[in-house]
Amino acid sequence: MNYHVIYDGNCNLCVSLVQVLENLDQGKLFDYISMQEADALRNFGVTPEDCEMGMILIDAKSPQRRWQGSDAAEEIGRLLPVSDVFVSAYRALPGLKWMGDRVYEQVRDHRYTLFGKRTSTYKSAYPLGCGASSTGKS
């Protein structure tokens, strides 16, 4: 894996987006850790308070390189071959990044009200350290 995606495994929207990403990537670039996996998060120095600020993307080769919230979503999009051009356009249009950040914050803060909360935490098909890039789905 090249990147670790930390997501809310209890959020219906978050899980749906992770599942789309899993299908697109097939474990080649990303593995996944839910925010509910406190032990795994401690290994990265990520606290529950950090998780309250939104999804986190960590570069596996340089763990000090991280993105959070809408910046993480943009970086994931930039890393995917088909969406890089859209992320570049989004970043280039004046005011759009600012507006996107505000929308992300509102969705983040009201995700359970807007999209519902799962009764059990979603476990990714490509968990941390799965090595799926050479073995397929685990």
Digits of tens for pLDDT over the chain (138 positions)?
699 999 999 999 999 999 999 999 999 999 999 999 999 999 999 999 999 999 999 999 999 999 999 999 999 999 998 787 888 888 888 899 999 999 999 999 999 999 999 999 999 999 987 654 433 333
- Domain presence at residue 12: yes
CA 109 to chain CA mean position, Å: 16
- What token pair was written down for 105? 């914050």
Q: Which pLDDT score is estimated for 131?
A: 59
- Domain presence at residue 108: yes
CA distances in angstroms from 58 to 70, 89, 115, 118, listed in the order given = 14, 23, 26, 25
Q: Which pLDDT score is estimated for 81?
A: 81
Supply the range of the domain harboring residue 97.
3-127
Place of tokens 């051009």: 85
Q: Which pLDDT score is estimated for 24?
A: 92
- Domain presence at residue 134: no
Q: Which pLDDT score is estimated for 133?
A: 41
Do the Cβ atoms of 13 and 115 come closer than 8 Å? yes
- In three-state secondary structure terms, 34 is strand
- Domain presence at residue 137: no
Q: Which pLDDT score is estimated for 36?
A: 96
- Domain presence at residue 135: no
- Domain presence at residue 24: yes
Give the count of domains, the chain.
1
**Helices (DSSP H) in 80-121: which residue ranges?**
84-92, 96-115
- Domain presence at residue 138: no
- Domain presence at residue 133: no
Q: What's this model's pTM, rounded to 2 decimal places? A: 0.87
